[in-house]
Chains A and B, each alone.
Chain A
């Protein structure tokens, strides 16, 4: 196997890892603050994919807009369908709307499914999360479609073509891959700066250390938790839209496997630790890609979970997780 092949598989892995990391941040953010595993988070990834597809269709396909009663968008459509500038605007609108809609959905889920259970035994919100997950999947199944929907324009062509952006060491890197890797890294750095540098970020860190004491010091706990439930799902939604562009389709149960993998990534990195989630995501993506590329596709998940087990044996708190002292 040549060096360029190794490089190619590594780039595949980093792209996949970027998606895992974006979703993993949502798990780790919520766990860090509430010590709760939000099993509905994989559905945020799925909803993001669907909302993104809806926005794309409404803004670019006159037939869909007319059917949805949004025929007034027609003048805007000609702008979105014209040239590079219009296309960039279309992408920004897609990611923006998807992130905001799913972020608000995340806040609503927290308000109605988790907050009433905040002082209940820890199993209760977990079950509630599974309920939300089942509810969202079935809502999409019934109201949208049980079929796998292609992420494509009205004429069947892809929104983002897989053209080569540049060539490194004999490996063609597609625009899509550059787009995913750059965006996910930028978003992660932004989140990291937000949490470590801003006032609100400090409030989040304080809440995660000790919720009650932070509340006594004047931190608005509900606001902090709601913010975590906005940011996590919004990042998950962006990953969902990327997933649609990159792999080409959405389906109501598409969140399950990436959800499990991203959760694994969060655990590998040390759940509750933001940088850990990013590291875990990229590590898992690259390991999977290498396993598939150098061994066999059948061993891909096996190797990924062996990595998880090894990490848990030698560093039970995860790669970047601190040895947590039991809170009494």
Chain B
């Protein structure tokens, strides 16, 4: 072997090593330390959410909500008696289906991972859920609203939020009956979530007797809507509906108002965040509507406990749209794990039998969560179907009349 080829070989090996590190996320898995009794078992819950790209504000809130639930569980006597500890692993799906698939593969390669709380984006879940399904890993989403996700026959998939076939029409009714809009322009961001929501809204708005001038497609990372704004201005509409996430939605609202389209923009739960108002500018966002799933956090019976615990754990952080839902979704997973640990013993948790028992236990969930009663129908959809409308007033989202 000459020096030349040896050097080439070294470069090749180094390249493969770097690639391998990148693929595995260079997380050298820490061995769970055995407690004195030797009986202690540590299991993992994955939290899949957009943390560096996409709807980051919502994604980080999901991690906080789920981590709070796990922390409270670990402190409970019930888990201590079982000798069970639950840890949280974050996976950054960037709101992107391809990255989400990688996150799912990474999650399922961990044998101690028993459930995934996530993902935020319906498009991400559509890819990831199949990977979890093959590994018998429970997935509970706090935020997926695309209708078809529970119609794919995935026994491992549940969600604690209402779906777009409820949210879209509720929003359209509000726009037609309460706002009094008769002519609408609909824009979506070409994602599974945005398209589904916009189509549901448009269908109901037309069924009510309204006119939808057009359903226009944009991209979920677009920032330039100037040409579209000129087009909407020429169409003389009463309302603009946007199906998508706040990143682009806020800029559309801003450019609409700056371009002289002085009508409110309405959107779905993806825009229900303070970031929306910050990005659009308070003056531009004023009077915009959005719907979100469930009741406002303040109005829920158990919400006060959640709020005070949250503020103690994360001082200075505002509660984002899905934090309470993430808390409940994580609770579904925790409850299922605890039930199986009691029935089969903690050593059986990570076996296939244990994982399947966890799926069955999750399907039977029935408890009073922060967001209301948490239970699922046979498809895995929540039985708690509530949608609330919010409006921007003085630079804040407040519940609309």
A12 to B281, alpha carbons, bound, how many Å?
22
| A147 CB contact (under 8 Å) in B57, B217, B255 | B57
Q: Does B230 contact A (CB under 8 A)?
A: yes
A16/B283 contact (C-beta < 8 A), A156-B395, A293-B231 known: no
Q: Are B227 and A156 in contact (CB under 8 A)?
A: no
CB distance from A279 to the nearest CB of B (A): 20
Q: Are A297 and B281 in contact (CB under 8 A)?
A: no
CB neighbours of B279 from chain A (8 A): 148, 150, 248-249
CB neighbours of A150 from chain B (8 A): 278-279, 281
A172/B260 contact (C-beta < 8 A), A146-B52, A147-B56, A292-B231 known: yes
A102 to B225, alpha carbons, bound, how many Å?
27
Task: Indicate the member of A12, A174, A246 with the most B CB atoms within 10 Å.
Answer: A12
Q: Does A3 contact B (CB under 8 A)?
A: no
Q: Are A248 and B254 in contact (CB under 8 A)?
A: yes
For chain B residues 236-257, which have a beta carbon within 8 Å of chain A?
Answer: 247, 250-251, 254-255
Q: Does B90 contact A (CB under 8 A)?
A: no
Q: Are B223 and A297 in contact (CB under 8 A)?
A: no
A247/B223 contact (C-beta < 8 A), A156-B281, A298-B216 known: yes
Q: Are B230 and A162 in contact (CB under 8 A)?
A: no
Q: Are A16 and B224 in contact (CB under 8 A)?
A: yes
A248/B281 contact (C-beta < 8 A), A147-B56, A254-B223 known: yes
Q: Are A292 and B227 in contact (CB under 8 A)?
A: yes
Considering only CB atoms, which chain A residue lies closest to B395 in the complex? A156
Q: Are A249 and B223 in contact (CB under 8 A)?
A: yes
Q: How large is the interface on A (under 10, 10 to 19, 20 to 34, 35 or more residues)?
A: 35 or more
A148 to B226, alpha carbons, bound, how many Å?
19
Interface string of B51-69 (1 = CB under 8 A from A): 1110011000000000000
Q: Does A289 contact B (CB under 8 A)?
A: yes
A288 to B187, alpha carbons, bound, how many Å?
18
CB neighbours of A183 from chain B (8 A): none
Q: Are B251 and A147 in contact (CB under 8 A)?
A: no
CB neighbours of B395 from chain A (8 A): 156
Considering only CB atoms, which chain B residue lies closest to A156 in the complex? B282
CB neighbours of A298 from chain B (8 A): 190, 216-218
Q: Are A297 and B227 in contact (CB under 8 A)?
A: yes
Q: Are B218 and A297 in contact (CB under 8 A)?
A: yes
CB distance from A42 to the nearest CB of B (A): 14
CB distance from A142 to the nearest CB of B (A): 9
CB neighbours of B216 from chain A (8 A): 296-298
A254 to B281, alpha carbons, bound, how many Å?
19
Q: Are B228 and A292 in contact (CB under 8 A)?
A: yes
| A12 CB contact (under 8 Å) in B51, B230, B254, B277 | B230
Considering only CB atoms, which chain A residue lies closest to B234 in the complex? A5
A253 to B223, alpha carbons, bound, how many Å?
12
CB neighbours of A292 from chain B (8 A): 227-228, 231
A9 to B218, alpha carbons, bound, how many Å?
17
A248/B218 contact (C-beta < 8 A), A156-B281, A292-B227, A293-B230 known: no
Q: Are B278 and A156 in contact (CB under 8 A)?
A: yes
Q: Does B258 contact A (CB under 8 A)?
A: yes
Q: Are B227 and A148 in contact (CB under 8 A)?
A: no
Considering only CB atoms, which chain B residue lies closest to A162 in the complex? B258
| A148 CB contact (under 8 Å) in B228, B234, B247 | B247
Considering only CB atoms, which chain B residue lies closest to A300 in the complex? B227
Task: Indicate the member of B221, B231, B260, B280 with the most A CB atoms within 10 Å.
Answer: B231
Interface string of A148-173 (1 = CB under 8 A from B): 10101000111000100000000010
For chain A residues 203-259, which have a beta carbon within 8 Å of chain B?
Answer: 243, 246-249, 251, 253-254, 257
CB distance from A138 to the nearest CB of B (A): 9
Q: Are B281 and A253 in contact (CB under 8 A)?
A: no
CB neighbours of A300 from chain B (8 A): 227
Residues of A at under 8 Å CB distance from B?
Answer: 1, 5, 8-9, 12-13, 15-16, 141, 146-148, 150, 152, 156-158, 162, 172, 174, 243, 246-249, 251, 253-254, 257, 288-289, 292-293, 296-298, 300
Listed by A's residue number, 25 A-B pairs whose Cβ atoms lie within 8 Å are: A1-B234, A5-B234, A15-B226, A147-B56, A148-B247, A156-B282, A162-B258, A162-B259, A172-B260, A248-B251, A248-B254, A248-B280, A249-B250, A249-B279, A253-B221, A288-B227, A289-B227, A292-B231, A293-B230, A296-B214, A296-B216, A296-B217, A297-B217, A297-B218, A297-B227
Q: Which 8 A-B pairs have the closest CB atoms?
A: A162-B258, A292-B227, A298-B217, A146-B52, A289-B227, A247-B223, A12-B226, A156-B282
Q: A146-B53, A249-B251, A293-B228 are in contact. List 17 more A-B contacts (CB 8 A).
A: A1-B234, A12-B226, A146-B56, A156-B277, A156-B281, A247-B224, A247-B251, A248-B223, A248-B251, A249-B279, A257-B221, A292-B228, A293-B227, A293-B230, A296-B214, A297-B187, A298-B190
